[in-house]
DNA sequence: TTGAAAGCGCTAACAA
DNA sequence: TTGTTAGCGCTTTCAA
């Protein structure tokens, strides 16, 4: 077997007895009646018979389109992102696009470098899930005129976004805890440089007020990681008697579990805990984690559809998308203990 | 501001006062003394001053190289793969390549479809971490002459591979359990269609023999998931009195924890458990999981380096790579209980 | 060492 | 409706 030598549009044209340009047109589904039905049929048949697949490189050079979307996530190792990527990948591929995925490791500088690499690859658009509140690289990208959709995290820039309505689920979580008899709820929040941190904290305060509960202590985890969550939760527990905690996300909740263990606090008997995300392993934690579920895959899919629309026509007025969240009640929440919980 | 109109090699050539071909040569680091130092310097300066970045599309069309590698993983949602991807991504980018990542969802047919998509994109080579023992799509890919490196999972095909030496860590795990006084060790293995399942089971049996322990029961989980692990472990626990279990991987171990809980079995007091992988959350499980650590990121990086070498010269005789594994002792293993454990 | 020319595969503009 | 022509940006002959 010699080198196969990939088929070109010329081969198809020859087989169908037409000019290459005609063959190209016949294979373009966007051209409605521009080619006679008979010719189209002949070309399509020939292409199928030969197994012709268009060469994306030649096409790109000509059309200035790469059918490629750059995707920036902050941390591949955070279980929140794989489902998001799954949604993005599937939806993009359904529209004939490929994703170039890059993980910034929560490093603003690296984000800039990766964006340069992706720009070098001539992506048609970008999905940015790594934005921080002040994010020069993303601002620059948007100002440069590239189609951009922000996912999950916002930054002060005029780009459409796909986010989850965290307030909805957080309200449900607070009401759930109140109904269980908790009178004070603490919050282990995340780093302030990320927009969702503020969104969630604000939603938490509003929900507590609406539920006529007394606002509990709020401590800040330096990162959305289990280690940072454990540390923050530890200071919380050592400082105040707490019966209920809303964690900034599920990874922080994982850290809270560890902090409980170290202090001999039983969850949910002594303290109830609610996370945010419903990451893949949340239901397998012990106790299984009650959490505000974010539709991670749908978030990704919606963002992908948006960027494809925007690439097709950058002038489109696409609306911001906000997907509802729901409270998933599992084993980490229980009625408030009668006696005071063990305190330092 | 009008459309920026990306710079081309012509712009650089004009700025440097040379012919585009000369500019191209000057910017190619592979050409040693083919261009005078003075000219090279002038061109490099001009390119830097203008901020020229080569257009990969034009280059690809000319060179028939896309600087792109297709990466197939079986399941993005399995925590084993994100670290692997991280290693792959970083190492590929360090060599100027981009990864096109696709998740097969453990579906052989989908694997074939995705490979077709990636082939359509003219990838220079492929990293396959999704191979099953009989895998026509991958066999076809290799026979077609594409550079392929198998990662983690093997299939009976003549392609270089990067795997972990699981036997090493499994031996350490069995010895660890023996030293804790366990006399019988059970094994919850994975689905037989994947090569690592057999590798690990074989290594387990050999290690048990070498440690002069009696071979314990082996039950099979239908998938490498927590749900399948819970089910398999449940039948194991209901059938036999067990004090020590080696799980086929960490996800199965997570399922074992759940099975313990349902039966009021305490880990590690009643039963010791060892996983395989050391996935990101393993140390945060409670008890934190004793596990055979696979260097996931290094596995990915090594595979990436191999495929880059192979793309550079397909005739290279690249050796199979096997990376050592180590036992990470944490909280899920403890001395064997004196009395018989609670049994059905 | 450098320049000239050609062409990778494709499709948009123009002509017929 | 179809054919002709041209050229996207690059690099690799070949010639000087």
- Summarised one tens digit per residue, pLDDT across range B162-191 is 999 999 999 999 999 999 999 999 999 999
What is the C-alpha to C-alpha distance for residues B56 and A122, in angstroms, rounded to an integer?
8
Q: Judge whether A245 and A188 are in contact, CB under 8 Å.
A: yes
Which residue numbers in chain B have pLDDT < 70? 1-4, 32-33, 339-344
Token digits of residue B63: 């060179």
At A9, is the secondary structure helix, strand, or coil? helix
* Interface with B, mutate which of A92, A280, A289 (most B CBs under 10 A): A280
Chain D: bases < 7 Å from a protein Cβ: 1-13
What is the C-alpha to C-alpha distance for residues A172 and A180, in angstroms, rounded to an integer?
12
Q: From B53, which residue of chain A is nearest by alpha-carbon distance?
A: A120
- Identify which of B188, B288, B257 has the alpha carbon closest to the alpha carbon of residue A284: B257
The DSSP string of B124-192 is: SEEEES---SS-HHHHHHHHTT--EEEESS--SSS--EEEEEHHHHHHHHHHHHHHTT--EEEEEE--T
Report the gap between the CA of B254 and the closest CA in chain A (Å): 7
The neighbour count for residue A106, using CB atoms within 10 Å, is: 18
What was the pLDDT predicted at B228?
98
CB within 8 Å: A226 and B61:
no
What was the pLDDT predicted at A174?
98
Going by C-beta distance under 8 Å and a sequence separation of 6 or more, which residues neighbour residue B54?
A120, B9, B27
CB within 8 Å: A281 and B280:
no
List, chain by chain, residues whose CB lies under 7 Å from nucleic acid strand C.
A 6, 8-10, 20-21, 24, 27-28, 54-55, 57-59, 61-63; B 18-22, 25-26, 33-36, 38-40, 61-62
Which residues does chain A have within 8 Å of residue B120's beta carbon, measured at their own beta carbons? 53-54, 56
* Interface with B, mutate which of A89, A98, A224 (most B CBs under 10 A): A98
What was the pLDDT predicted at B35?
84
Which residues does chain A have within 8 Å of residue B71's beta carbon, measured at their own beta carbons? none
At B72, is the secondary structure helix, strand, or coil? strand
Q: Judge whether A311 and A125 are in contact, CB under 8 Å.
A: yes
Of residues B57, B86, B280, nearest to A66 (C-beta): B57
Q: From B65, which residue of chain A is nearest by alpha-carbon distance?
A: A57
What was the pLDDT predicted at A33?
59
Q: Judge whether A227 and A235 are in contact, CB under 8 Å.
A: no
Which residues does chain B have within 8 Å of residue A146's beta carbon, measured at their own beta carbons? none
Whether the CB of A205 is less than 7 Å away from nucleic strand D comes out as no
Residues in chain B whose Cβ is within 8 Å of chain A: 3-4, 53-58, 60-61, 66, 76-77, 79, 81-83, 85-86, 89, 93, 98-103, 117, 119-122, 144-145, 226, 254-255, 257-258, 261, 280-281, 284-286
CB within 8 Å: A286 and B261:
yes
What is the C-alpha to C-alpha distance for residues A250 and A280, in angstroms, rounded to an integer?
10
What is the C-alpha to C-alpha distance for residues A68 and A118, in angstroms, rounded to an integer?
10
Phi, psi of B238 (to 5 degrees): -70, -20
At A228, is the secondary structure helix, strand, or coil? helix
Packing angle of the helix pair B296-312, B81-94 (nearest 10 deg): 40
Whether the CB of B30 is less than 7 Å away from nucleic strand D comes out as no
What was the pLDDT predicted at B213?
95
A298: left (phi > 0), else alpha (psi -120 to 50), else beta? Answer: alpha
Which residues does chain B have within 8 Å of residue A98's beta carbon, measured at their own beta carbons? 100, 117, 121
Residues in chain A whose Cβ is within 8 Å of chain B: 3-4, 53-58, 60-61, 66, 76-77, 79, 81-83, 85-86, 89, 93, 98-103, 117, 119-122, 144-145, 226, 254-255, 257-258, 261, 280-281, 284-286
Burial of B105 (0-12, 13-18, 19+ CB in 10 A): middle
Phi, psi of B341 (to 5 degrees): -70, 160
Of residues B81, B122, B285, nearest to A57 (C-beta): B122
Nucleotide nearest the Cα atom of B6 (by C1')? D9
What is the C-alpha to C-alpha distance for residues A284 and A250, in angstroms, rounded to an integer?
12
Q: Judge whether B164 and B152 are in contact, CB under 8 Å.
A: yes
Could you state, in chain order, the average pLDDT of each consecutive group of 10 residues for chain A (344 residues)? 71 95 91 80 95 96 97 96 98 98 96 97 98 96 96 96 98 98 97 98 98 94 98 97 97 98 97 98 98 98 98 94 98 87 48
């Amino acid at each position: 077997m010699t080198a196969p030598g990939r088929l070109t549009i010329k081969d198809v044209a020859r087989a169908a007895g037409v000019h290459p340009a005609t063959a190209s047109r016949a294979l373009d589904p966007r051209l409605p009646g521009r080619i006679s039905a008979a010719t189209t049929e002949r070309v399509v048949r020939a292409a199928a018979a030969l197994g012709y697949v268009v060469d994306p490189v030649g096409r790109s050079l000509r059309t200035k389109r790469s059918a490629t979307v750059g995707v920036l996530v902050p941390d591949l190792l955070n279980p929140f992102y794989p489902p998001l990527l799954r949604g993005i990948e599937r939806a993009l591929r359904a529209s004939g696009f490929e994703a170039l995925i890059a993980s910034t490791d929560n490093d603003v500088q690296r984000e800039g470098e990766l964006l340069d690499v992706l720009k070098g690859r001539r992506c048609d658009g970008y999905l940015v899930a790594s934005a921080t509140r002040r994010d020069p690289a993303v601002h620059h990208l948007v100002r440069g005129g590239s189609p951009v959709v922000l996912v999950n995290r916002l930054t002060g820039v005029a780009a459409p976004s796909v986010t989850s309505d965290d307030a909805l689920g957080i309200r449900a979580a607070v009401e759930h805890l109140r109904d269980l008899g908790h009178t004070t709820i603490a919050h282990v929040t995340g780093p302030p440089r990320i927009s969702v941190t503020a969104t969630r904290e604000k939603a938490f305060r509003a929900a507590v007020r609406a539920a006529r509960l007394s606002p509990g202590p709020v401590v800040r985890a330096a990162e959305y990681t289990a280690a940072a969550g454990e540390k923050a939760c530890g200071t919380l527990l050592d400082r105040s008697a707490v019966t209920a905690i809303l964690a900034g996300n599920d990874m922080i909740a994982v850290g809270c579990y560890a902090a409980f263990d170290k202090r001999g606090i039983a969850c949910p008997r002594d303290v109830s805990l609610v996370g945010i995300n419903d990451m893949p392993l949340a239901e397998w934690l012990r106790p299984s984690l009650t959490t505000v579920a974010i539709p991670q895959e749908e978030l990704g899919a919606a963002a992908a559809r948006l960027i494809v629309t925007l690439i097709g026509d950058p002038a489109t007025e696409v609306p911001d998308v906000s997907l509802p969240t729901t409270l998933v009640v599992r084993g980490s929440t229980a009625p408030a203990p009668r006696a005071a919980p063990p305190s330092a």
